[in-house]
Amino acid sequence: MVLDALARLAEERVGHRFKGLPPDAADLTVGELAAQRRNLFTGGFTTPVLALSAERLEHNLAALETFAERHGLAFAPHGKTSMAPQLFHRQIERGAWGITLAVPHQVRVAREFGVERVFLANELVDAAALRWIAAEQDADPAFRFVCYVDSVRGVELMDAALAGASRPVDVVVELAAGEGARTGVRTEAQCAAVADAVSAARTLRLVGVAGYEGEVPQADPERVRAWLRRLVALAVDFDKAGRFAGLDEIVVSAGGSAWFDAVADVFAEVPELSAPVLKLLRSGAYVSHDDGHYERLTPFNRVPQEGGLEPAFRLWTQVVSRPSAEQAFTNAGKRDAAYDLDLPVARVVRRDGTERPATGIEVTGLSDQHAWLRTSSEADVEVGDWVGLGLSHPCTSFDKWALIPVAEADGTVVDYIRTFF
């Protein structure tokens, strides 16, 4: 089933639906185009075009696989970063426990492509979605689904929607990262009340605790570790109270892309409980990494001996106007580039097959379909040049491109990644 679903991606026609691809490939399937191994720069691709580095993508996949193994962590990378089933399966092939997702649509995509384990890092109270989850569980005994709960009311809504389900839905109590943080239960006493409500519901099963340390107010190593120790202590208290009786494993989960070093440190302190503990890390932005937000925050900056990540995205855009010595415009804008956290960064200029650093070029703003470039006297850039931009925030980079070429260092395109947002 999995191979069939992935194979169907290669059968899609290139056509006009996918940005940046060669117009003369319109009648080809994605698989046929990939087999041609065209060059990104000379093979008819049009600007703007987003590309993933084949080498850097592979490097990043290996880096988190190694990190998780070294620290005894199970890994469920957050798939909402890419929503790319091909990448889901590359992660699973590298030992991932499953895939983390955020909303029901994303779970449907994952299931369509054969993902057997899904951790939904969100509350789920939509009755139609819950009935679909129950049907998936009934139809596939191997399907493992876990989601957050953070209120008695939410538990009641879930229980009502799941009435008649043959298998209970597994849930973890979400501990909030602090007052004013995002979702999650604010106090340990309230966590116990939610857990009691789960116990009273026939259609739910409490399997652990979880949360997201990235929401800790004024996050720093000490505050993040303090919150993670609260999460571990909550699991210990629940276990002592018998709330996990009868489980084969207890889930303790955290871990975005900014503090996975702290998660590894604190989860190493988890004591022996009444059942084996699944220490589940959920970092997702590492797949492509970025030039900006996560580049600054990656834990590998704090512990370089653990490894490193490399920005794998490059948005190639073309200079279409050079109205003055201080200004230039390229043909990629908000429709093409992530800009919610940081503006793109000019990395290289390409002319006549030669690349050089984008010295003296700064992206100062984005219109819908233009990037505004400030150019100093050092800038060597003219109309027709290709400018390679580094992008921030992978989540809002992947969602702008439905089919993304994967290019080797010499520009040879070896694959195409299909996204579903």
The per-residue DSSP string of 363-411 comes to EEEE-SS-EEEEE-TT----TT-EEEEE-S-THHHHTT-SEEEEE-TTS
Q: Is 98 domain-assigned? A: no
Interval 283-298: pLDDT, tens: 999 999 999 888 999 9
Q: Which of 237, 266, 283 is the last residue of a domain?
A: 283
Containing structural domain, residue 382? 2-54+310-418
* Pair (255, 161) in one structural domain: yes
Interval 45-74: pLDDT, tens: 999 999 999 999 999 999 999 999 999 999
What CATH number does the domain containing 261 carry? 3.20.20.10
Query: If you average pLDDT over residues 128-135, what whole number do you get?
Result: 98
* Pair (188, 277) in one structural domain: yes
* Pair (147, 200) in one structural domain: yes
Cα distance between the two ends of the chain: 22
Q: Are strands 204-210 and 250-254 parallel, antiparallel or unpaired?
A: parallel
* Pair (275, 328) in one structural domain: no
E-strand spans in 62-175?
A: 74-75, 99-101, 117-123, 144-149, 169-174
What CATH number does the domain containing 413 carry? 2.40.37.20
Task: Please give the pLDDT value at position 185.
Answer: 98
Q: Is 405 domain-assigned? A: yes
* Pair (154, 272) in one structural domain: yes
What span, in angstroms and rounded, lies between the C-alpha atoms of 376 and 206?
Answer: 60
Token representation of residue 191 = 């966590």
Interval 141-160: pLDDT, tens: 999 999 999 999 999 999 99
* Pair (361, 316) in one structural domain: yes
Q: Is the pLDDT of residue 1 over 70?
A: no
Interval 355-377: pLDDT, tens: 999 999 999 999 999 999 999 99
Query: If you average pLDDT over residues 119-124, what whole number do you get?
Result: 98
Q: Is 152 domain-assigned? A: yes
Interval 229-267: pLDDT, tens: 999 999 999 999 999 999 999 999 999 999 999 999 999
Q: Is 133 domain-assigned? A: yes
* Pair (171, 220) in one structural domain: yes
Q: Is 163 domain-assigned? A: yes
Q: Is the pLDDT of residue 97 over 70?
A: yes
What span, in angstroms and rounded, lies between the C-alpha atoms of 303 and 307?
Answer: 8
pLDDT band at 84 (very low <50, low <70, confident <90, very high): very high
Q: What angle do CA 80, 235, 201 make, to 5 degrees?
A: 75
Task: Please give the pLDDT value at position 4.
Answer: 85
Provide CB contacts within 8 A for 7, sequence distance 6+. none
Query: If you average pLDDT over residues 74-84, what whole number do you get?
Result: 97
Q: Is 120 domain-assigned? A: yes
* Pair (272, 123) in one structural domain: yes
The total number of structural domains that make up the chain: 2
Give the closest residue to 334 by CA, choosing from 369, 365, 293, 386.
369
Task: Please give the pLDDT value at position 381.
Answer: 98
Q: Which of 248, 283, 318 is the last residue of a domain?
A: 283
What span, in angstroms and rounded, lies between the C-alpha atoms of 6 and 92?
Answer: 14
From the centroid of its chain, how far is CA 349?
29
* Pair (233, 276) in one structural domain: yes
* Pair (263, 328) in one structural domain: no
* Pair (166, 243) in one structural domain: yes
Q: Is 96 domain-assigned? A: no
Interval 171-190: pLDDT, tens: 999 999 999 899 999 999 99
Token representation of residue 283 = 């970092």
Where does residue 255 fall: left (phi above 0), alpha (psi -120 to 50 degrees), or beta otherwise? left
CB 347, CB 392: distance < 8 Å: no
* Pair (258, 349) in one structural domain: no
State percent of the chain over pLDDT 70: 99
Task: Please give the pLDDT value at position 3.
Answer: 65
Q: Is 318 domain-assigned? A: yes
